Structure 1
Amino acid sequence: MSPVPFIAHPGFATLALPRHVALLAGLALFSGIVVRTMISVGVPDRPDARKAHTRVTPKSGGVGIVAAFLLGISLLYRFGEVSRLAAPLFVGVIAAAVLIAAVSLLDDLFDFPFLVKLGAQFLAALVAVGAGLSARKFDLPLLGAVPLGMAGPVLSLIWILFVTNAMNFIDGLDGLAAGTTLIACLFLAGIAGLHGGFFVYTTALLLAGGVAGFLPFNYPRARIFMGDVGSQFCGFMLAVLGIAATHYQRVSLSFLVVPLLLSGVLLDVTFTLVRRTVAGQNIARAHRGHLYQVAHRAGMDARWVAIIYWGFAIFGGVVVIGFLHAPTDWKPVVIFAPLLPFAMWAAYVVRRAGRAEIGPWG
């Protein structure tokens, strides 16, 4: 696959990158202003047995992320002819994003049951897929592109639901979800830009701008949490971009790009779901049994736990670059590379939890 530098495209002149950096900075500033306002008016998140914080802290800081993203996407729709998708699909994706943000904000206010949240997520995913966003093929190393046919929309729905919930589940320590999202977006923007994926490039930058404005208020010591409105929105958009990266642009990227970027998050959630299922526990019930939560309960500083998961995202980005440029025979080896650091992390957490005698993981 030969990269097509975005600055070589007629719509991305030599000065495009500085302008996009300025746009990212402007959206970050706008997001920060909204987040600062939400600190004053945000919904209080009260401590309980399943939460890591010990004092009342406002949540719904994700409103800043959503507001900045929607401002940027409005500008993209108005002026970004090169980067936007065809109107029906573009409008459908944005409508779905607004829907997931609105319902998630209401969830922050009223704490909906899990099935209600899942139903809203399903509806938002259905809007996006119904508008035409659907995976058409799955690129497997050595086997090449495997057409998905009628299974494409169904698998796309499952993927969107899984990533949306994964980012929601992982948002339990200061800076963890926001930092992971920011790193994944920056890698995704760079990779998509170099391969002519202008919609993914621009949209990932818009999301990065919103998250960059929020993160200083959430790390190293949280003055506000992003809440479901932030975590579900970020997960939803990353899932959508993962599908969009496979087509709708000049050069199709592998569907494995976003899963590799989010490998730390997705492996933690998968590990936890499998462990709880085997143990006969209710996977829909709130708990503190994710690896990152167990590490914190065992005495590890929350700031270092977040940095480790940021490291997973950075490592995932490096793996993606290696995967896209690796010889065909080496691709199967490269895609499994994230399993090694995650296995080392899981073993460390298990050992640390045993020494700390924290009891059942939940």
Structure 2
Amino acid sequence: MKPVPFIAHPDFATLALPRHLALFAGLALFSGIVVRVMMAVGIPDRPDARKAHVQEIPKSGGVGIVSAFLLGLLLLYRYGEVSRLAAPLFLGVIAAAILIAAVSLLDDLYDFPFAVKLAAQLLAALAAVGAGLAARRFDFPVIGAVPLGRAGPVLSVLWIVFVTNAMNFIDGLDGLAAGTTLVACLFLAGISGLHGGFFVYTTALLLAGGVAGFLPFNYPRARIFMGDVGSQFCGFMLALLGIAATHYQRVSLSFLVVPLLLSGVLLDVAFTLGRRALAGRNLAQAHRGHLYQVAHRAGMDARAIAVIYWGFAMFGGASVVAFLHAATDWKPVVIFAPLIPFLLWAGYVAHLARRAEIGAWG
């Protein structure tokens, strides 16, 4: 039986749910075991002026996430005929995932310059896009689908690199990036499963399983950090799944699905980069100017901040569901809905910063 992008049976996700939940639990357990090993290995993350922690804590716990995900992906390639893609594309996804994970782990060990990390991200993105995973069109509300043509691969690479870095930038407080990834993956798996996108459904579930095994070690009090190997890998895979969701399902989803799910992260990063650009600061330089960092510097509890960003992901998930079911005239309203909680958050952080007499945000 040859692998196909999707299957015709609309109830596959429901019928196979017990097995998928067992796979999720098994991968979470495997991830947790690998995380414990990484805690024993103890790659140190030493505190400095731009970090939130004040004592040395091991990092690279994301190796557990990557290991569990790749194990699940290999099982999917071997046994998951109905959920995997045709061989060249599937192997391209696996190769890109391994590449970004390997370079990110080396970055945790040797702290590469930003240019080296960016080059590795571009290479991994090109591997996935070169294998055939590229956006073909963009769905605008009211206007409809606009073919991207030759711009599709270029825009896909830029999208993958941006989301990869966004998740890396946002990984600065206990549980924030991991919890956001878990919420986004669960929403993405549920939405894709209901729309016949079983590659996206299963792959999102694999990533969710790996993150679920890591999160208890990272929240509410971090005993280990995921490191670049975890944050970059999660961002990279979510970006790939966002593209795959547009043309590997019975009902093609909008490219806006993953941006809505990650709205809190993407808006924070875009807001911070825009503010730093206007101030003439070096965008590649490490800083403590993200909204979540400013809130923490102003005295807000890190656990509460993480929960707020999980809430952004949940609100984004609800927005996706509303967008998919909304009448055409209401779709633009739904798309911009995540701006409301974000603007409220930005205003509140500005208030905290003024009260704490924080001058330049970093």
Q: TM-score, normalised by structure 2?
A: 0.97
Paired letter, 1:229: V
**Cα gap change, 1:361 to 1:125, in 2 (>3 Å):** same
Once the two structures are superposed, the pairs formed by residues 21-40 of structure 1 within 5 Å of their partners are: 21-40=21-40
Residue deviations 1:257-294 (CA, integer Å, cap 9, x gap): 00000000000000000000000000100000000000
Aligned to 1:258: 258
Correspondence 1:18 to 2:18 = yes
Shift of 1:14: 5.7
Report the Cα distance in structure 1 between the residues aligned to 2:45 and 2:13, rounded to whole angstroms.
46
Aligned to 2:173: 173
Shift of 1:13: 7.5
Residue deviations 1:203-226 (CA, integer Å, cap 9, x gap): 000000000000000000000000
Aligned length: 357
Residue deviations 1:311-340 (CA, integer Å, cap 9, x gap): 000000000000000000000110000000
Correspondence 1:65 to 2:65 = yes
**Cα gap change, 1:139 to 1:51, in 2 (>3 Å):** same
Paired letter, 2:60: S
Aligned to 1:141: 141
Residue deviations 1:8-61 (CA, integer Å, cap 9, x gap): 828837641011011100000000000011001031000000000000000000
Correspondence 1:155 to 2:161 = no
Shift of 1:358: 2.0
Paired letter, 2:314: I
1:318 alignment partner, SS class? helix
1:163 alignment partner, SS class? helix
**Cα gap change, 1:219 to 1:127, in 2 (>3 Å):** same
Long gaps (5+) in structure 1: 1-5
Report the Cα distance in structure 1 between the residues aligned to 2:237 and 2:180, rounded to whole angstroms.
14
User: Is the contact between residue 10 and residue 194 of structure 2 (CA under 8 Å) also seen in structure 1?
Assistant: no
Residue deviations 1:72-99 (CA, integer Å, cap 9, x gap): 0011000111110111010001100100
Correspondence 1:276 to 2:276 = yes
Aligned to 2:3: none
Long gaps (5+) in structure 2: 1-5
Q: TM-score, normalised by structure 1?
A: 0.97
**Cα gap change, 1:9 to 1:345, in 2 (>3 Å):** same
**Aligned-residue CA RMSD (Å):** 1.3
2:145 alignment partner, SS class? strand
Give structure 1 regions of 4+ aligned residues with deviation exceeding 6 angstroms.
none
User: Is the contact between residue 57 and residue 224 of structure 2 (CA under 8 Å) also seen in structure 1?
Assistant: yes
Residue deviations 1:130-158 (CA, integer Å, cap 9, x gap): 10110000000000000000000000000
User: Is the contact between residue 11 and residue 82 of structure 1 (CA under 8 Å) also seen in structure 2?
Assistant: no
Aligned to 2:205: 205
User: Is the contact between residue 170 and residue 265 of structure 1 (CA under 8 Å) also seen in structure 2?
Assistant: yes
Residue deviations 1:87-140 (CA, integer Å, cap 9, x gap): 101000110010000000000000000010000000000000010110000000
Once the two structures are superposed, the pairs formed by residues 214-253 of structure 1 within 5 Å of their partners are: 214-253=214-253
Report the Cα distance in structure 2 between the residues aligned to 1:107 and 1:32, rounded to whole angstroms.
22
**Cα gap change, 1:83 to 1:292, in 2 (>3 Å):** same
User: Is the contact between residue 92 and residue 128 of structure 1 (CA under 8 Å) also seen in structure 2?
Assistant: yes
Aligned to 1:3: none
Correspondence 1:98 to 2:98 = yes
Report the Cα distance in structure 1 between the residues aligned to 2:92 and 2:67, rounded to whole angstroms.
18
User: Is the contact between residue 7 and residue 16 of structure 1 (CA under 8 Å) also seen in structure 2?
Assistant: no
